[in-house]
Amino acid sequence: MRRLCMFFLATILSVTGVSYAGQDTLTQISTIDALMSGIYDGETTLQALKEKGDFGLGTFNTLDGEMVLLGGEFFRINGKGAVERPDLKTKTPFAAVTFFEADRIVPLKKGLDFKALVAATDKMLPTANMFYAIRITGSFSVVKTRSVPAQQKPYRPLSEVVKTQPVFTLNNVRGEIVGFRCPPYVKGVNVPGYHLHFITADRSAGGHVLDFSVDTAVLEVDDTSEFTVVIPSDKAFLEADLTPDREKELKAVEK
């Protein structure tokens, strides 16, 4: 692990050349605690969301699958792990997007997994107190993902739903990992730390990333110094009790 990191860092130092202050904004619809509490319907259309970014992740109304937004195109990894192209009229209860522009480009070492990525990236980044958009493009010996099927009312909390989540093991795949690293102080609003989704290059599979192992891949990081939360105006959000601390619940869900 230590040797992996050292190699990784050495590689960064030798290769990183692109670095400028990105005055980007991460725009987020609703809050993670609202989603955790079972608010799976929102009022924001993908059409509206597109105006806030060309890159990101989230879910869809009724918690119908995992969202990947890449190059301005939306993908839905449904509960069966298949990829669909949602209509722009589709709505989302939770999403985080930005206009992606890499500030850092780093090749990743073969065999690097999620844990090692976190350790090495945390070491590389100038501060834990900013937002970063993260894109990893390449081939992976394995990517382990999950997705969620559409839910029916009355909605159960997310911690219940993921107990029976379908998990997919994708071997020897090319594709893109898409997501964010958020600072500790967004607890309750977004996911502190790393939150990553995956989609294959042939757009046939993907999901919420549980783990992976890099074959040949490049990490791009977009330093993001503004953070905007769009508060939903629908009844479910407005009436929700968002006072409980859901930190432990969130950690269980993000596993």
Which residues in this chain contact a copy of itself in the complex, by CB under 8 A?
21, 25, 31, 33-34, 126-131, 183-189, 225-231, 233, 237-240, 242-243
Beta bridge partners of 77: 66, 83
Separation of CA 212 from chain center? 14
Q: Which is nearer to a copy of itself, 201 or 238 (CB)?
A: 238
Shortest distance, position 238 Cβ to a copy of itself, whole Å: 4
Q: Which is nearer to a copy of itself, 22 or 175 (CB)?
A: 22
Q: Which is nearer to a copy of itself, 68 or 250 (CB)?
A: 250
Q: Which is nearer to a copy of itself, 27 or 200 (CB)?
A: 27
Q: What SS3 class is residue 235? A: helix
Shortest distance, position 128 Cβ to a copy of itself, whole Å: 7
Written in H, E and C, the secondary structure of 140-178 is EEEEEEECCCCCCCCCCCHHHHHHHCCEEEEEEEEEEEE
Shortest distance, position 58 Cβ to a copy of itself, whole Å: 17
Closest CA to 237 of 38, 97, 50: 38
41: which residues sit within 8 A by CB, 6+ positions away?
Answer: 61, 62, 91, 93, 234, 236
Shortest distance, position 200 Cβ to a copy of itself, whole Å: 33
DSSP symbol at 238: H
- β 193-200/167-182 pair status: antiparallel
Shortest distance, position 34 Cβ to a copy of itself, whole Å: 8
Q: Which is nearer to a copy of itself, 29 or 196 (CB)?
A: 29
Shortest distance, position 74 Cβ to a copy of itself, whole Å: 22
Q: Which is nearer to a copy of itself, 34 or 177 (CB)?
A: 34
Q: Which helix (H) or strand (E) holds 116?
A: helix 114-124
